[in-house]
Chain A
C-alpha cells in the first residue's frame, strides 16, 4: 500500500469516526426530557369515521387508559399529537379532542388539561370544576387545581400519563399546576 493510499484510508476512517461520535452525541442530546415525552404507548385503536375524526385526520390512535368510565387517547395526526377522551362503551367514537399544533408534550406544556369547568353565574371570571382529567408528560406525577388565592383545591395523581377524577371539590378554580416526582411545581396555567 502506497503512502498516499494509506493517508487517504486513515483520513476516511477519521472522518467516519468523527461522524459516528457526532451522531451519538446528537442523539443523546436531542433525546426528549421527561416533560417532553409520553412513555405510555397504550393500545392501538381505530375510530369510526365521523365529523370529528375526519377533521382530526388521525394517522394513529392509542388508548392510554380507561378511568371512571372514560377512555383517554393519544392521537398522532397530521398537525401533531392530540389528546382525546371518549366512552369505553363506545370504543370507536370520541367526545372531545385537543390538538395544540405540536406544542404537547413539551417542557413548556407538559399537561393537556381536558377538564370540564362550569359556571352557574353570569359573572365572567368564576368557574368551578365539573370533571378533572387530562394527559401529561412522563415528568408529571400529579396535577393540582388552584383556588383564586393560590391555595390547592384538589390534587389529582397521574398514572400512566393520565389523570382523572370525578370527585371534585365545589368552589372557584383559577388555575392548574403540575408537580414532578419530588413535589416541585414544573408548570402552571394560567
Chain B
C-alpha cells in the first residue's frame, strides 16, 4: 500500500513539473485562427496581456522560432498599393517589443534572432498606424 502511494505521489510530482515547463518544439499559435483572416484595429486585443493593451495580438510565452504574417488589401489598397493599416510584427519579452514595419500587402517572416531575442518570448503583431489591417498571424516553436 505504501509503495502504491509513493508511485502515485511521484506521478503527481512529475505531472506538476511537466505542466510547469513551457512547450518547446511542437507549439504553434495562429490569430485569429490557422485558416482565416482577422481584422486588427487599434483597439483589438488578444486579451492575454500583450505589450500594448490595445492594437496588439500576441501569442502565449514559448520558445518561438518563427513569426509569419500575411496581410491583405482588405477593405482596399490605395493607388500606391498600400493597405489601410501599418503593422509592427515581431516578438516581445518582459523588457521590450521589437519588430519590423509594413503597410504593404504580402507575406512577412521574422525569426527571434533577427530582432536579437531568444528564449521565452511572445510573437506579436501590432496595428501601428491607419485604420485596420486584415491579417493572419502564425508562430511556430
A interface residues (Cβ-Cβ under 8 A, vs B): 51-52, 55-56, 79, 85, 87, 94-101, 103-104, 106, 108-109, 113-120, 122, 124-125, 127, 130-131, 189-190
A103 and B106 within 8 A (CB): yes
Q: In the bound complex, how far is the Cα of B42 from the Cα of A64, in angstroms?
A: 37
A117 and B88 within 8 A (CB): yes
12 additional A-B pairs beyond A108-B80, A115-B101, beta carbons within 8 Å, are: A52-B109, A56-B107, A94-B109, A96-B100, A103-B105, A104-B104, A109-B81, A116-B98, A119-B98, A120-B96, A189-B101, A190-B103
Shortest beta-carbon distance from B70 to chain A in Å: 9
Q: In the bound complex, how far is the Cα of B111 from the Cα of A100, in angstroms?
A: 18
Residues in B neighbouring A52, C-beta threshold 8 A: 66, 68, 109, 111
Residues in B neighbouring A79, C-beta threshold 8 A: 106-107
A96 and B106 within 8 A (CB): no
B interface size (C-beta, 8 A): 39
Residues in B neighbouring A190, C-beta threshold 8 A: 86, 103, 129
Residues in A neighbouring B129, C-beta threshold 8 A: 190
B interface residues (Cβ-Cβ under 8 A, vs A): 42, 51-55, 65-66, 68, 80-81, 86, 88, 90, 95-111, 113-116, 126, 128-129, 140
Q: A109-B80, A117-B88, A122-B51 are in contact. Are A55 and B113 (CB under 8 A)?
A: no
Shortest beta-carbon distance from A98 to chain B in Å: 5
A85 and B114 within 8 A (CB): yes
Shortest beta-carbon distance from B29 to chain A in Å: 14
B52 and A122 within 8 A (CB): yes
Q: In the bound complex, how far is the Cα of B104 from the Cα of A23, in angstroms?
A: 33
Q: In the bound complex, how far is the Cα of B109 from the Cα of A69, in angstroms?
A: 20
